[in-house]
Copies of this chain bind each other. A is one copy, B any other.
Amino acid sequence: METLRLYDFLPSGNGYKIRLLLSQIGMPFERVEVNILKGESRTPEFLSKNPAGKIPLLEIEPGKYLAESNAILIYLSEGTEFLPYDRLLRAQVLQWLFFEQNSHEPFIATSRFLISILGKGDQYKEAIEQKHKSGYAALSLMESYLQTHNFFVGERYTIADIALFAYTHVADEGGFDLTQFPAIQAWIERVKAQPEYISITEESKYCI
């Protein structure tokens, strides 16, 4: 097998999902930094790899690319302990992954991007207020679920936890107050206690 190559941007939560999983699987990979703030994901060369102009992007073999962080998570976790084999449990993992991309990331990740990555919180004040409303709804739903569950699917750590952890644990960087969500905070600690955990801007030791 060719070495996997990950086109990535270190502060990105979507990129972090892949780095964290690869670290926990123990799979070597090459990381290529794409500075999205300098337009590096919008060059003709990068767009020829991913027409959507987004990272993370996984080069599975030379010239074969896979986009969308949660699709990459499923592809890489197939056959590992991080994706259940049981049909109904797998479906529940997928349910949370789509929830993350449709009801969580567009509000929680983008608030962090505007405030902490771009540093333009004042300029986008009104947009952020809108995003906070929907983002808090997503956090409340997670809080309620985690009051009676240790992890999101099958009471085991899976890629559903990785996908939701990526932007939830840094939601404060987007102006969200996590202190009102004790069950989420306890779950964050459970995720951080997993073997081979790495933090969001930490290089995996499997990164070559």
> Is A91 a contact of B106 with CB atoms below 8 Å?
no
Complex interface bits, A37-54 against B, C-beta within 8 A gives 1, otherwise 0: 000000000000001100
> Is A98 a contact of B95 with CB atoms below 8 Å?
no
Q: Which residues of B contact A91 (CB under 8 A)?
A: 66, 71-72, 74-75
With the chains together, A98 CA to B72 CA distance in Å?
A: 10
The count of identical subunits is 2
Q: Which residues of B contact A94 (CB under 8 A)?
A: 68, 70-71, 74-75
For A140, the closest partner residue in chain B by CB is: B51
A105 at the interface (CB under 8 A from B): yes
Q: Which residues of B contact A75 (CB under 8 A)?
A: 87, 90-91, 94
Q: Which residues of B contact A144 (CB under 8 A)?
A: 51
Q: Which residues of B contact A51 (CB under 8 A)?
A: 141, 144-145
> Is A98 a contact of B70 with CB atoms below 8 Å?
yes
A113 at the interface (CB under 8 A from B): no
Q: Contacts A52-B141, A141-B52: A106 and B95 contacting too (C-beta < 8 A)?
A: no
For A54, the closest partner residue in chain B by CB is: B103
With the chains together, A67 CA to B70 CA distance in Å?
A: 17
A99 at the interface (CB under 8 A from B): yes
A117 at the interface (CB under 8 A from B): no
CB of A164 to closest CB in B, whole Å: 13
A186 at the interface (CB under 8 A from B): no
CB of A158 to closest CB in B, whole Å: 14
A92 at the interface (CB under 8 A from B): yes
Q: Which residues of B contact A141 (CB under 8 A)?
A: 51-52
Give the residues from 138 to 163 in chain A that come closer than 8 angstroms, CB to CB, to chain B. 141, 144-145
A88 at the interface (CB under 8 A from B): yes
9 contacts across the A-B interface (CB closer than 8 A): A51-B141, A51-B145, A52-B103, A66-B95, A67-B95, A68-B102, A75-B87, A97-B98, A101-B102
> Which 7 pairs show the lowest CB-CB distances between chains A and B?
A71-B94, A68-B98, A75-B91, A71-B95, A101-B102, A68-B95, A101-B101
